[in-house]
């Protein structure tokens, strides 16, 4: 098994080097249509290469990898902006697939999961709301789904909904009588409106980041995903694996940035010395290796526990804080080592730094996780 | 005098609030033509408001401010991406004007300085070269100017030349027999070619960042700026005031980012509390005030010394390191406080962080300045 | 005046080099009796050198310096552990003198201030209490002074009372009917008991850090310092100058540590290079110069404002946070540069690091100041 | 096996709680004689508890643990200053035992190893020299061993030799014709002189830190440990396990400091809130858990590789840098959370911070390791 994972990883690396990276270009960032087309093309190549959908069970055409194997594959794919989307294991589709697998009924799987798995459609997950709605604090959820005449009427306002542009459906979190509930809403529903794509720092998100309005959006009972009232629980359950998957992909991204910086430092001379021979550069390189080594060990430790069925509530929070900050430091050092070239779009390093910035905010801001960790520590008297 | 500086500053603030900030829009970034037009329009407003060209002597239509007054005005203007360009005190035109004032002969002033002052044309400063040419280390300069038949033939390759797109002329640093020399080259010269605009993190640079090639570019003796062989000395002399001016402007930019973040934190609630009431947010706000307070004191101390004719070689290097890193921290905290909104282009905070990133590299990377500072400390036994 | 301050500073430096530093020895730390004797001897030398009591008005035998001048003198004296005590401008005697000058009546000045000024006796300031009493939060004050039969009966428990060992009197903060009140208590009072000297990291505190118990300690009305009920106000008023004075002295201490480290780095070779030629050492040296430069500017800015009668409530808090953390970084780097020698007592560097550790806690912990600063910022909408 | 390690660890914890910690007292620090006596007594208790010498093979009376098990036991023992010495697995005796086991001949094992194992004698490792001798750079070794008339004549000067006071023998690194060689020298040898114990920050080192002079110190061939000329190789080989063992012990120490700080924060109130409820304290606690979690994972990963016979040259350097800096941060936060109490000797937290300071210097300073790591990275093109 270990061998075959190593082989699989080598195939992913080959795919990334030969297909994903050559397809990257700065102008794809923020151009959702072209980005979409490029990813669709790459998915075909990945399927043929036998590396498609590492997170899905074989009966759904996936590789059926456990978390420890995924840690390797997602890191490798994550070296390119286009790697994880090409393998169809990028958010929000990846966690949406997992939600549908776990909670979707047969009809929902047929209608939504299968085309999603095949890469024919895309989806989004509509949870975050503008102030004073649900941001870090999901309990502030203001989008409602009211029961009327055997239907559900959804009203609300969502934003920063990754993947929303050209998505075929959204999994929507809305407040119902008995708690929050997840609904699957077709974006062709007349009550669903994509207001705009919100531009910002990170450009390579397939489907951008949408602002969405639900205005008397009517859906039937078969739009309910899983059980009514279980929305928060399902959302929580998707978060841990989602943030760990992010860690895996972004370790790959940061590693690539530093790899490029190392190659630059090994050649570029200044004041009669290679940059690689300057101690301040050496310290930045050494610290980046340490940051990534610690990041990988934390991720793998979580993966091992998840594979063993242990809870990683606490550990995944520690891991998310550390990794999101570590990969940021690594990318920042890569930019610094490369000087003006690092700022430019002539290499992907500049975009990698921009793309890593949101990770300290998405999936729970570092500050929120720190406070939550500490409260749990004090509540249960956890030893340091 | 102090009063009138305060009044002037108030006028600049009013201009920034009423004209510069309302003219900002994310789509201006990387759109050099539209940006140029907007800036030109604003320059007219600024001229009427009596706040134009604070760094120029009155006989050139400027405000004739000393460095201490400039510190205030440039910070205030720097709150907007468009403020300093609107006052025509943004690089590279600002230091180019100073170079022309100091070293230009009457004809050069007439032909280049006056239209530059009036905002009719723009310029660039062509020093930096791709590897293995002059980057941090100017002694690696590879662009040459050869003497042939009473003319100078310039050949070379430059990049990251801010303001190059649509510039009317470039001040070019080239290697000559007796050292480096500065030449004024019309961009209409057939030997001058703008290869491209180099895109990257920071988008609000008027005229972008150009890559330029000089191919047998022939100029006459009257193209020499100042004396032959004095190029490095002139370049060095322009660097200190240039980097201090950058500090002033960027203090303004970081201050604005944190101002926006404070306003957000004062209103946005999460888990039943305003963000402003959370200690982790409070610590970020307090640290930002401290960072900016220390930055201002360091800049003003340099300004005072420059006004008194003292050397600030050492102090300006310390100031540049500290301020470039401090304003970056401030912008990063502003983004973090604002969460997803901070990442987006819905507020200028996200672009401010991106725009501040190069400052740790431009005008001498932090690592270079640290090494130089320490060597001077050990050479002269400077007390800590 | 500027000249004479420079001359005075030179005299202080000479005194520190010739008398204070040669009297330092590690064994003095934690040996309160010998330390006391050494300081008393040095005070005689300082008096003859005309540098004694820089903070006192001339009519009390002091130099009558304003805050800007004190900033220079206290930094210079602060280079040695023994400098400020030798000039009798070390806490707690220094702020106690200021309290007595401001609030003491004629008899109190005669009895307590004059011998204190002459260095014949020492004193302490008894405010801090063990949990659940007054620590960071003075409102938790539990020591009481009850009015009975025209007397005051003080009961309470204090600790970390610097200078308590062999002090002749204590200024005590106790809760009375109408608020907190300051009392002057002779340590010979039978109700006053020094429980022990509390050992810890910093060893050079004259009079150590005492734990004190007040058991039915009876004092007369003439023990009240200033007005009844004004204790908190007086305590607050003494804090700002006290913490700024600390900043001044500790800038001197950190500067000396780095001076020693620089001298070491300039000579010690490793792997064929002087330490001074290694970039990682250079970066530590440069950062220390920057830290100290910014620290001095912040302190001097406060001093200037205090001399002008402006409030420094906000600025002194920013300064205290920054300086206490900056000098700690400087000392830590000095230790690191010196390697094993930096850990040892063979140079004062090791003790300087230990002595600087409490400064992030004393006079208000950094965390407390950050929260207070931010609350004020949000309350008054202070611009960053 | 896993179970029995858990049981063993529980026994060690019980021993530490019931015997080691109650024997700690600040006055032991720097009092080498009393410290020695206390440790000897505790070794008896540990032997009876069946937890003695975890690193030694059973045939030498040890527990024969592999590295992964040692990681657990040494951390647990390391919670007390006295834990590792009580288990006789503290440096320099622990690595000396390993050197003797590996390279000692039968007679040397009989004469030196056995009494060392039994705790009857102590030893030291004499490598470090004052400038301009061997510090970080062993190639600067100046101590010589000359061959004369079939004997070796050792001359040289050593310092910071941990454990030197009252050691029975020293393993000495000296320069010989064919490279460096290790010698076993009885401290009763008339050519061996302990000059003094060097006091400094860390006080709990059994046998202190000695300065030693070798003056025409004559030894026979049977004093050579292993082979002539292999001294540097042996020294290098002992360093990796030694620094990892240090990591294990110091993780325990830092964990205990934070445990104490957590207990304090859970009870102490300030401004109407428990410290544990303040976000700045929460952030310090969370970061400490993260630091220790990452530290443990890095150490265990090395341990696993060592057990598998893999080289950890690179990984152990990354681990040493990270752990030495992480445990320092943890201890510093523990002090900060506890305020004045954290500075004092009333809890072990203050001494733990002081004791951890040298770890960023001993076993190779962080700066040295960073430069070495980076050079290896560039040399072999290691991917980040």
Q: What is the pLDDT along chain D (384 residues), one digit of tens a residue?
A: 456 999 999 999 999 999 999 999 988 987 889 999 999 999 999 999 999 999 999 999 999 999 999 999 999 999 999 999 999 999 999 999 999 999 999 999 999 999 999 999 999 999 999 988 988 888 899 999 999 999 999 999 999 999 999 999 999 999 999 999 999 999 999 999 999 999 999 878 999 999 999 999 999 999 999 999 999 999 988 888 999 999 999 999 999 999 999 999 999 988 889 999 999 999 999 999 999 999 999 999 999 999 999 999 999 999 999 999 999 999 999 999 999 999 999 999 999 999 999 999 998 999 999 999 999 999 999 999
Q: Which contacts qualify for C333-336: CB closer than 8 Å, 24 or more apart? A: C333/C258, C333/C261, C333/C284, C333/C285, C333/C287, C333/C288, C334/C254, C334/C257, C334/C258, C334/C260, C334/C261, C334/C288, C335/C257, C335/C261, C335/D357, C335/D361, C336/C284, C336/D360, C336/D361, C336/D365, C336/D366, C336/D367
In the complex, which subunits touch C with 3 or more CB pairs below 8 angstroms? Answer: A, B, D
DSSP state of B111: I
Mean pLDDT of A109-124: 97
Q: What pLDDT score was predicted for residue D135?
A: 84
Mean pLDDT of A217-227: 97
Distance CA D124, CA D269 (A): 47
Domains of chain D: 2-90 (1.10.540.10), 123-229 (2.40.110.10), 233-380 (1.20.140.10)
* DSSP letters spanning D134-177: SSS-GGG---EEEEETTEEEEEEEEEEEET-TT-SEEEEEEEET
Instruction: Enumerate the residues of chain C whose CB falls inside 8 A of the CB of residue A278.
Output: 279
Q: Which contacts qualify for A101-104: CB closer than 8 Å, 24 or more apart? A: A101/A56, A101/A57, A101/A60, A102/A226, A102/A234, A102/A237, A103/A182, A103/A225, A103/A226, A103/A227, A103/A230, A103/A234, A104/A184, A104/A225, A104/A226
B165 has a pLDDT exceeding 70: yes
Mean pLDDT of B144-150: 96
Q: What pLDDT score was predicted for residue C202?
A: 85
Instruction: Enumerate the residues of chain D whose CB falls inside 8 A of the CB of residue B270.
Output: none
Q: What pLDDT score was predicted for residue C135?
A: 84
Neighbours of D45 (CB within 10 A): 16
Q: What pLDDT score was predicted for residue B3?
A: 62
**Tokens 């203090």, residue located:** B251
Q: What pLDDT score was predicted for residue B2?
A: 53
Distance CA B306, CA B298 (A): 12
Of B128, B278, B280, the CB nearest to A340: B128
Interface contact flag, B286 C373, Cβ < 8 Å: yes
Mean pLDDT of C126-134: 93
Residue B279: closest C-alpha in chain D: D279
- As a whole-number percent, the residues of chain B with pLDDT over 70 amount to 99
Instruction: Enumerate the residues of chain D whose CB falls inside 8 A of the CB of residue A290.
Output: 318, 321-322, 373
C46 has a pLDDT exceeding 80: yes
Q: What pLDDT score was predicted for residue D139?
A: 87
Helical (H) or strand (E) element with A93: helix A93-103
Nearest CA of chain B to the CA of C343: how many Å?
A: 20
Neighbours of A120 (CB within 10 A): 11
The pTM score is 0.97
Q: What pLDDT score was predicted for residue C271?
A: 83
Q: What pLDDT score was predicted for residue A371?
A: 97
- Read off the pLDDT of residues D127-143 as tens digits, 9 standing for 90 and up: 999 988 988 888 899 99
Interface contact flag, C340 D270, Cβ < 8 Å: no
Residue A10 touches partner D, C-beta closer than 8 Å: no
Mean pLDDT of C110-125: 97
Interface contact flag, D290 A322, Cβ < 8 Å: yes
Distance CA B334, CA B329 (A): 9
Interface contact flag, A289 D377, Cβ < 8 Å: yes
Using pLDDT thresholds of 50, 70 and 90, give the confidence band for residue C3. low
Asked which of A24-28, B86-90, C20-24, D148-152 is least confident by mean pLDDT, the reply is A24-28
- As a whole-number percent, the residues of chain C with pLDDT over 70 amount to 99
Mean pLDDT of C211-215: 98
Q: What pLDDT score was predicted for residue B131?
A: 87
Mean pLDDT of C210-231: 97
Of C135, C270, C280, the CB nearest to D339: C135
**Tokens 């036994």, residue located:** B381
**Tokens 């059994």, residue located:** D206
Answer for the pair C287, B370: CB distance below 8 angstroms, yes or no.
Answer: yes
Work out how many CB contacts closer than 8 A connect A with D. Answer: 126
**Counting beta carbons within 10 angstroms of the beta carbon of residue D33, is it exposed (0 to 12), middle (13 to 18) or buried (19 or more)?**
exposed
Mean pLDDT of C23-27: 93
Residue A281: closest C-alpha in chain B: B367
Nearest CA of chain C to the CA of A280: how many Å?
A: 6
CA torsion sign for C150, C151, C154, C155 is: negative
Q: What pLDDT score was predicted for residue B255?
A: 98
Using pLDDT thresholds of 50, 70 and 90, give the confidence band for residue C270. confident
Closest CA to D89 of D189, D206, D231, D178: D206
Of A297, A322, A373, the CB nearest to D301: A297
- As a whole-number percent, the residues of chain C with pLDDT over 90 amount to 92
Which of A127-131, A181-185, A204-208, B363-367 has the highest average model confidence (pLDDT)? A181-185
Instruction: Enumerate the residues of chain A whose CB falls inside 8 A of the CB of residue D285.
Output: 373-374, 377-378, 384
Distance CA D172, CA D170 (A): 6
Using pLDDT thresholds of 50, 70 and 90, give the confidence band for residue C18. very high
**Tokens 């009155």, residue located:** B58
- Read off the pLDDT of residues B172-222 as tens digits, 9 standing for 90 and up: 999 999 999 999 999 999 999 999 999 999 878 999 999 999 999 999 999
Average pLDDT, chain C: 95
């Amino acid at each position: 098994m270990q061998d075959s994972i190593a082989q699989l990883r080598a195939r992913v690396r080959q795919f990334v080097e030969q297909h994903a990276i050559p397809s990257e270009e700065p102008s794809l960032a923020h151009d959702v249509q072209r980005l979409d087309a490029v990813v669709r093309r790459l998915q075909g190549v990945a399927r043929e290469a036998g590396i498609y959908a590492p997170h899905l069970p074989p009966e759904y055409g996936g590789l059926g990898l456990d978390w420890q194997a995924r840690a390797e594959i997602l890191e490798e794919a994550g070296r390119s902006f286009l790697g994880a989307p090409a393998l169809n294991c990028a958010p929000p589709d990846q966690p949406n697939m997992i939600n549908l697998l776990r909670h979707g009924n047969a009809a929902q799987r047929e209608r939504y999961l299968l085309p999603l798995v095949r890469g024919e459609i895309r989806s989004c997950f509509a949870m975050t709301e503008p102030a004073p709605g649900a941001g870090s604090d999901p309990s502030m959820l203001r989008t409602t789904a009211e029961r009327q005449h055997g239907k559900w009427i959804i009203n609300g306002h969502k934003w920063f909904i990754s993947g929303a542009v050209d998505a075929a459906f959204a999994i929507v979190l809305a407040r119902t009588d008995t708690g929050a509930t997840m609904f699957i809403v077709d974006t062709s529903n007349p009550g669903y409106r994509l207001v705009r794509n919100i531009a910002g720092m990170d450009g390579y998100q397939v489907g951008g980041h949408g602002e969405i309005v639900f205005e008397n959006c009517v859906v039937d009972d078969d739009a309910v995903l899983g059980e009514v009232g279980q929305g928060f629980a399902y959302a929580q359950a998707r978060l841990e694996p989602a943030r760990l998957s992010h860690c895996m992909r972004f370790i790959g991204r940061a590693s690539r940035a530093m790899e490029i910086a190392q190659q630059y430092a090994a050649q570029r001379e200044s004041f009669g010395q290679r940059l690689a021979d300057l101690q301040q550069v050496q310290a930045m390189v050494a610290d980046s290796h340490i940051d990534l080594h610690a990041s990988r060990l934390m991720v793998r430790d979580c993966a091992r526990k998840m594979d063993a069925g242990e809870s990683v509530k606490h550990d995944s929070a520690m891991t998310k804080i550390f990794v999101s900050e570590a990969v940021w430091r690594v990318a920042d050092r890569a930019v610094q080592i490369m000087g003006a070239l690092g700022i430019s779009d002539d290499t992907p390093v500049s975009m990698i730094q921009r793309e890593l910035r949101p990770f300290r905010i998405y999936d729970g801001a570092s500050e929120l996780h720190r406070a939550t960790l500490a409260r749990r520590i004090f509540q249960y008297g956890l030893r340091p």
